[in-house]
Structure formats: C-alpha cells, structure tokens
Structure 1
Amino acid sequence: MFKLSEKELADEMAGFTAREISQQPNVWKEAVENVFQWKDDIHAFLSAIYTKHARLRVVFTGAGTSAFAGDILAPVLQKENQANIQFEAIATTDMVSNPADYLFEEIPTILVSFGRSGNSPESVAAVNLASNIIKDFYQVIITCNPDGELTENARHDENSLILQTPEQAHDQGFAMTSSFTSMMIVGYGAFTTSPFTGNSVTKIIAYAERLISTLADIVDEIIHMNMERIVYLGSGILSQLSHEAALKMLELSAGKVVAVHESSLGFRHGPKSILNDQTLVVLFMSQDPYTRQYDLDILKELSQENSKVVVLTESKDSEVVELADWALSVNGEGESLGNDFYLAFLYIIFAQILALKKSIQLGITPDNPSPDGKVNRVVKGVTIYEYRNI
C-alpha cells in the first residue's frame, strides 16, 4: 500500500491512516448506496420544512476538517437551490464563541452538524445554543459515530434527522480522511437537487482507485525535495479544499512542515511572501474555463520563482506540463467529471498521501502524530460557558 509493506506500516504506526486513505472509493460507493436507500426519509423530512417556511437557512457546521466539509458544500448547493433557501457554512468554533452573530431567533434554520466522533464539545454546544435561540429549529446530523453525543441527544427528536456514514468511515487514525470525504458525500446527497448517483460516482470511484494505485512513485519523488513549507492554492471551492489539504500536512507532520492555504487570486496579496527554495506549492486547477484562467496566471507567475510547483488538473494540459515541476492529471484520460466539486474528491487524495508519506519520512507516527497530547483526535481542554442572550 503506497509502496509501504505491512511491516513498515506497523513499525511506523501508519496502518490506520494508510488504510483509511486507501479505502475511500469503497466507502464512497457504500455511502451513495445508503443515501439512495434513505432518499424517501430525507425527502419527507426536508420537504416538510421547506414547504412550511417562506424563508429558511441551512447552516453547515463542524470544527476543523468537519467545518471544511461545509465550506465546500455550501456554495455548491446554493448554486443548485436559488430559491428561498440560503445555504451557509459556519464553524462551531465561531458559533459557540459568538452565537449572537450567527444564530437568529426569527429565521427558521436547519443546522447540519458534521462530526466524526460526534463528541466535540463545540459541536454539542452549538446545537444547544441554536435550539435555545432559534424558534423554528431543525437539525441534520451527519456523523461517523452512531454512539456519539450528537446522535444520542437527537435520537428521539422529531425535528432531527440522523444520517450515518459507512462504519469504515469512522477513522481510527488521528487525521480525518475517509470520514471527511464520506461526510461530504452524504451531505451532498441529502440536499442536492441533482442526485449524486450513477455515472458520476462510478467515474469518481474509478479515477480514485487509479490514483491510489499510482501516486506513490511521484509522491516519493516530491518529498525528496528539501520541503519545509507547503502552500495549497485553488479557486472557489478548491480554495476551500486547500484549507483541508494544508491541515492534513500540518497535522501529520506535527507542525514540522509549515502549511498554509490561499486562493489563487488571493495569494499575491501578502501570502506570497512565504515562498523560498524550501517551499512546495500545490495548485488545485479548476476545470471551469473561466476560473482556470486565474489559476493559470498564478502558475505562470510561480514558474518564475525558486519554489517547486505541483499542479493537479483534470486532464493533461501541455501548458501546465511545461510550467509545473510536476503535473498530475487525475481522470486517467477518461471522461470529464464536469465540475470542481467532483474533482475535489480526487485532489484531496493526493494531499492525504503526500502528508502520510512526508510524516513517515520525518520519523513521525501518522496514526498518532502528537503522542504528547498537544493535539488530540477528539479535542480536549474546551470550556463551554453559559450563554445569556441579553
């Protein structure tokens, strides 16, 4: 697996993380099948709310990686649902500290909570705050843990819907990998007006399987550069994806690799100062012809710097190949996926594998990169204070 033997994975304490990256195509297939089986229950729950209210917010929330899932989904679903439904993404870490800025008594709201464990203190607190502040409050819980506190608290609530990812998606490694992508699939499947089934999913799974089986060689080549910094760039939802990609490297390298993220256009506005000869830049190239122009412009600029550049693109592009140090096409010369949301599932696999291999190279244990407890798989040390809406 990723050119690592079972003994090497065991010795490096990398087995959980490697398997959870590798298993994603199978987990996605099961997640889509589950959403299809639940479609009548999902439709009944949501349509009753949609028809009851002339105005409605759907707020995706979570902490860390779980929050980034919502950041990616909200604009995709807003584009599909340009009616009376407002899709937003607000991290629980913002909502809990500043509830009056984000939770409004008179606006009916569906709070969609993403949670691998369902036990993060901010996630539980966000639901409690929202249910106390908002008159017409509903929730959808998308979780990998059937026994988490979020699930237990909502189990007998008629205004709540619980959607479970496949059991395998409940990652045992420190970093969220298959949990992240499977929660995005379930979240999209629940709210999309274009069902995430059939040909598109088949293509994504096939392309992902090819990537997982072929990326190890090029990743090994990349990590042999003297990389102390990494920058992930993208436009639109791929800029949001870059946040998750950067976090994977930061987590699995235990902070030894400085990892940042930015939009392709935003990078010039100060963050470009990070570039030096020990910086790797990874550009998630959009397939949209208009947006792609901006990605290509920053690539041309980066090609004049002394940093190394990796570009992920949907299909082979001779100009990208000429400008980048490494150019990776993710669809295997196959049929186009048609949008950046589908591409995101393939692009993040590269970031996950790169972080895993760099972690091992640095002598860090990917399954538990912070054995001193500085950071934890389920966050600790959070005090939740009583809120009085004055």
Structure 2
Amino acid sequence: MFKLEEEKLKDLGAIITTTEIKQQPELWSEAYEIYKENKESINKFIENIGNKHGQFRVIFTGAGTSAYVGNSILPYLKKQNDIRKCIIESIPTTDIVSNPYDYLKSDVPTLLVSFARSGNSPESIAALNLGRQIVDNFYHLAITCAPEGKLAQMTKNDENNYLLLMPSRSNDQGFAMTGSFSCMMLSAMLIFDNIDEETEKLYIESIVAMGKNVITREDEIKSLIEPDFDRVVYLGSGSLCGLTQEAQLKLLELTAGKVATGYDSPMGFRHGPKSFINENTMIFVFVSNDEYTRKYDLDVLEEINGDKIAKLTCAISVDKENNFSGTTFGFDAKNNNLPDLYLAFPYVLFAQAVSLFTAVKVGNTPDTPSPSGTVNRVVKGVIIHQYQ
C-alpha cells in the first residue's frame, strides 16, 4: 500500500493513514530538530523547578494512545533519572479526572507533562485544571501537535508552563494516532534522557534508517498476515511492554474490533492470558536488545512456537548472537546496541503497518474505521464534573 497511487488508496479509504504512517521517519528528524532548538530553554524550565523545590514529581499523562506514550517511556526514563531530584510516573488523564484525590497531592511540587494530538480532549483540559486547582506548586509541560488546540492555548505565556509543538504533519488527520504518538514519544525521551549529543544523534540516525527499512518491506509484512486470523497478541518487556498497548490498540481501532487483540509482558503472559491463544491467533513479540531480558523474550517465543497452536509466532528483533529459531522480522545487527526505548520506533512502525494492512484485508476503511460513529478522532460525550 505504501507503493500504491493516490486514487487506489482513496478507493480503499486509506490514503490519509497510509501517508501518515509512511512519513514518520521524516517526522522523527523534524522532531529532533525542534527539540534541539528548544533544548536550552526547556532544560532551564525543568532545572528551575528542581532548584526551587528540590525533589519534585513528573507525571506523564494523556488519554488512550497519548497515555501509552507515558507508559512506554516510563521504565527507561526512571532508570535514567536521579530519584533524589524527580520521581517520574505515568498516570492517564482518564484516571486523574475521575480520581484526582488518588493521584494529585497538594503539598508535592508537580510537573504535569501532557501528551495530546489535538489538545481538545475534555480529559486533557480537565486534568490540567485539576492540577492547577489542587497542587500548590504546579507546573505544566504540554507536548502537543496542534497550536490552535485548547491545551496549547492554555499553556502559552505563563512562566509555570512550557509549550512544545510537534512537527505540523504529526497532527494526524486520520482516525488513528500514528506520527503524533511517535513524535511525542521521541520528544519526551530526548527531554528526559541523559545522553551526550553525539550518542543522541547516532540513535536518531539509527531509528530513522530502521523506520525507512520497515516501509520498504511491505511485501514481507503482508506475507506474515496473509493467513486467516482473528486474534492478535503483542508481547514486550519493560518499555516495550508499554509499546504493546499501543500496538494492539492500533489494530483494534483500524479493524473496528473485527480482530480481537491482547497485550502483555512475555513473563506475565503465561499467567492466564496465554489462554487467549487459539488456532486463529497471531503472536508478535517485541524482542529486547538487553542481553538478560532478551533471554526471557526468546524463551516465550520458543515455548509458544513449540505449542503449535497459534497461527503465527513472530519475533520483531534486532539480529544478535541469540535469536528466535522461528519466524523473525529482523533488523541489521549494527543496531544491536540501541536501548529498547529507541527500538520502539521501528517496532511501532511495523505494528502500524500490520494494522493498516489488516484493516484493508478485513474490508475496513482505515481513515474512517468506526462504521457506527460511536468512536471518534477526538472523544465526544464526556461530561466533566466540578471538583471541590
């Protein structure tokens, strides 16, 4: 589909989503340039919070796909940051809004990092307002794709707020969040990661090259999903476990539930969720680059493959000394030292392609996948109740 002409893609109802998936490697380079332009000022903004209060909380927040940004980056960034300076958490806006007393503490200085494509989600606005209402020393960093969105407008021109806008093309016009997810994730990673500029540049170049590689392998991806199936499970460890949430949601959204989905960690999957597997199930495992964690990922792959029940058991992996003996969608070994969180970018691009191709396969239109109209690009029907 990445090679199809526009008219054919329009006929399939897939031109917007296909374009927005395909352009992501370019957007990652753009997002990196935006980060570099803002690096000094955003570092100063965050450092000032620490200088003023000592230890403070950082809460990554969003709803749906935007919440999965925080879930994906949390394990890696907790490891990269000094707990004596900041305590990093990931809490969806949907949880904050319904249970603010469980998550917001008045006497704890807090930086809320909002991820939002449009910035018009009722929960995004409500979470920000609740933070301002409840927390005595409250700060806000909005990472969003829409300069005209309510969240962006509420964050401008205030010393306790910082607005970081993503590349304009990342404001996905299709139903599903694709470039918005990956650009916001990349930007937050760069802000809170503690690596030198040379390593940073090398990592970005690597993920851009790997992302472009995924796009060129459309036929290979299509061959993996050619058999009939109606269930898909994504498994991953650490940061890649957070990514499995987004991977399965994309497939669920774009097929409008015609394909049932699941996600888990490879270790957790054995404890009940493995019952989901039948003869119509596809299993995709995001394999870690960490030598220790990788052993557990490979163990589960070999176990499921050996059960001979699932339609397909497939590793998404960088080639290393130890690899899965079965089907693998692999990447060149020169990228085998990338931290898992950076691998998340080509991995999620693979998952988005699977979702796109599967949606068309089952007769759905990816650009407008919800035939009933009950699920929308920006959530509707949410009533925000006053909190006192």
Which TM-score bucket, shorter chain as reference? Answer: over 0.9
Flag structure 2 segments of 5+ consecutive residues without an equivalent.
none
- Give the secondary structure class of the aligned counterpart of 1:334: helix
1:297 is matched with: 299
Summarize the alignment of residues 1-390 of structure 1 with structure 2, pairs less than 5 Å apart: 1-82=1-82, 83-194=84-195, 197-214=200-217, 216-305=218-307, 306-307=309-310, 308-315=312-319, 319-320=323-324, 322=325, 324=326, 326-330=327-331, 332-388=332-388
Q: Which amino acid aligns with 1:254?
A: A
Cα distance in structure 2, aligned partners of 1:263 and 1:318: 19
Pair 1:382–1:261, CA change in 2 (3 A): same
- Give the secondary structure class of the aligned counterpart of 1:198: helix
- What is the CA distance between 1:40 and its match in structure 2? 1.4
- Give the secondary structure class of the aligned counterpart of 1:269: coil
Q: Which amino acid aligns with 2:369?
A: P
Q: Is the 8 A contact 1:204 1:337 kept in 2?
A: no
Q: Is the 8 A contact 2:243 2:348 kept in 1?
A: yes
Q: Is the 8 A contact 1:316 1:329 kept in 2?
A: no
Q: Which amino acid aligns with 2:68?
A: F
Q: Which amino acid aligns with 1:39?
A: K
- Give the secondary structure class of the aligned counterpart of 1:368: coil
Pair 1:377–1:28, CA change in 2 (3 A): same
- Give the secondary structure class of the aligned counterpart of 1:346: helix
- What is the CA distance between 1:316 and its match in structure 2? 5.5
Cα distance in structure 1, aligned partners of 2:175 and 2:201: 32
Q: Is the 8 A contact 1:141 1:151 kept in 2?
A: yes
1:332-386: CA deviations, max 9, x gaps? 3434342101111011011000000010111111011014211000000101111
Root-mean-square deviation (CA, aligned residues, Å) is: 1.3
- What is the CA distance between 1:221 and its match in structure 2? 1.3
Q: Is the 8 A contact 2:62 2:92 kept in 1?
A: yes
Cα distance in structure 2, aligned partners of 1:123 and 1:236: 26
Cα distance in structure 2, aligned partners of 1:125 and 1:301: 45
1:201-231: CA deviations, max 9, x gaps? 11111121111111x1122212221110000
Identity of aligned residues (%): 45
Structure 1, 74-83 or 228-237: larger mean CA deviation? 74-83
Cα distance in structure 2, aligned partners of 1:106 and 1:298: 44
- What is the CA distance between 1:12 and its match in structure 2? 1.0
Cα distance in structure 2, aligned partners of 1:226 and 1:20: 27
Cα distance in structure 2, aligned partners of 1:278 and 1:318: 28
Q: Is the 8 A contact 1:130 1:137 kept in 2?
A: yes
1:175-203: CA deviations, max 9, x gaps? 01010000011111222222573111111
Q: Is the 8 A contact 2:320 2:336 kept in 1?
A: no
1:308-339: CA deviations, max 9, x gaps? 1111011166741x2x2x20112x34343421
Flag structure 1 segments of 5+ consecutive residues without an equivalent.
none
Q: Is the 8 A contact 2:234 2:284 kept in 1?
A: yes
- Give the secondary structure class of the aligned counterpart of 1:367: coil
Cα distance in structure 2, aligned partners of 1:154 and 1:369: 32
Cα distance in structure 2, aligned partners of 1:166 and 1:195: 23
Q: Is the 8 A contact 2:250 2:355 kept in 1?
A: yes
